[in-house]
Structure 1
Amino acid sequence: MSSPDIQKQVENAVKRLNTLYTRTLPVKVGTKAVSLTKKRFSDSAFNGRAWQEPYRRKLSFKGAQASYKTLLSGTNHLRDATYFKPEPGKVYIRNQVDYAQIHNEGGSIKVTAKMKRYFWYRYAAAKGARLTKKRGGLRKTKGNEALTREAMFWRNMALKREGSLIRMPRRHFFGPDANMSKEIRKIIERELQLFVKNYGTYFRESR
């Protein structure tokens, strides 16, 4: 093999390795990290530690509100707002929803006038959805019982003093854990092994 051939082989190898470093690995690692982050919402857990259930499930609210898992809703906005931004040799996993941090870390939030209006709205909606008898009075159904519990929950929330605190339990969904680290390590090892294998094949065929 002549010297120019060696130089070309080295240049091609460096170019392919650079692509692996700057684009392939950041994108694959980012994709896996986002996928595992979103899976925590369906598992309602982080690294095997279950999240605290919301009151709507403990009180068996009626309809969709009762069926949604913790931190999930009709839009799944919080879950689906997780994304990645690849850069050479690294990748950033982000979620810029305003309330992401308080859910992820836990803490307390102050009751505002706007929140109280929303609580009253939800109270009125739940109370008004109950079925009544033709001659007046509520029907004795499980649905009505669930709506009554829901209405009382929202009433109690609405009666909270403006400026008082509502404690938010920590529901850790963001950040690395043992499983994510393991999966990312597997991706890196697999891509490096594939690079060595493919480059070796390319080197042998070009001789």
Structure 2
Amino acid sequence: MNTSDFKKILKLLEQDLQKTISDTLPRKAGVLAVNHTRQNFRDGGFRNGGLQPWKPTRRQQSGSKKASDRYGPLLSGRKRLMGANDFRTEKGKVTIFNPVEYAAIHNEGGTVSTHPRITPKLRKMAWARYFKAAGIRRGTSSKTRKKKDAAAPPEARMWKAIALSRKSRLNVTAQIPQRRFLGQSKELTEKLQEEAEKELLKVMETRLGSLK
């Protein structure tokens, strides 16, 4: 092999490496990152130097045997938030994102406020929730009803207050605990570095193999 041929191979190698860095690696990194992020949902926490578990939800702590109450934090039968994790690539760059409107508040934590209207339908639902939470059933005597009302748990009192409220709108403020699923991760960084090294080495071995 003469010098001219050797220079051509090096030029082709340079082109192969540039294509890998600009196109192949961003796509592979995107797939790795999305899979890693979805695994956070399955594990119920965020991995960054070890698993950092998410705060359990009230439905998990309720002891309910309903199927819908057995899902872990941020999970549901539809897996909407988990399944929405995605990526987009640019030349030599990949961006991981989640377009769901409530993704950011769960990932970062914070306070949310809402002002729903108190409609007749909402009042009817509030009464139903109150009776259920207080343990009052149809046909319960007036005396028993008074006792159950006096001993009603906070949840039942909340629903009764909504049902009896003279306001046309509610002022609801909720503190959302941080349950990070997107962000800087030691484990993900190691996976990306390993994948990059593997891809670059493969390109070099393929192109330089013609020198043998």
TM-score (norm 2): 0.74
Q: 1:124 to 1:200 in 2, by over 3 A?
A: farther
Question: 1:146 aligns to what?
Answer: none
Match of 2:86 in 1: 83
1:33 matched residue in structure 2: 33
CA 1:175 to 1:54, structure 2 compared with 1: closer, same or farther past 3 Å? Answer: same
User: Which residue does 1:57 correspond to in 2?
Assistant: 60
Instruction: Give identity over the alignment, percent.
Output: 28
1:16 aligns with 2:16: yes
What residue number does 1:174 align with? 182
Per-residue deviation, residues 123-168 of structure 1 (Å, max 9, x unmatched): 848978xxxx9x977xxxxxxxxxxx9x859948967982231111
CA change 1:123–1:9 in 2 (3 A) is farther
Residue 111 of structure 2 contacts residue 173 of structure 2 at CA under 8 Å; is this kept in 1?
yes
* Deviation of the 1:61 alpha carbon: 3.0
Q: Which amino acid aligns with 1:191?
A: E
SS in 1 for 2:77: coil
CA contact (8 A) 1:110 1:162 kept: no
Q: Give the match for residue 194 of structure 2.
A: 186
Give the match's secondary structure for 2:73.
coil
Asked which structure has the greater CA Rg, the reply is 2
Q: How far 1:199 sits from its partner (Å)?
A: 2.1
CA contact (8 A) 1:29 1:184 kept: yes
Q: Which amino acid aligns with 2:29?
A: V
* Post-superposition offset of 1:64: 2.1
- Cα distance in 2, alignment partners of residues 157 and 94 from structure 1: 40
Aligned length, in residue pairs: 189
For structure 1, the residue ranges without an aligned partner over 5 or more in a row are 138-148
Matches of 1:43 and 1:95 in 2, distance apart? 18
Partner residue of 1:104? Answer: 107
TM-score of the superposed pair, with normalisation by structure 1 = 0.76
Q: 2:170 aligns with which of 162, 179, 190?
A: 162
Q: Give 1:201 deviation, angstroms.
A: 1.1
Are positions 1:200 and 2:200 aligned together? no
Structure 1 segment 134-173 matched on structure 2, within 5 A: 152=156, 155=159, 162-173=170-181
Q: CA 1:113–1:20 in structure 2 vs 1: closer, same or farther (change >3 Å)? A: same
Contact kept, 8 Å, 1:32 with 1:184, in 2: the verdict is: yes
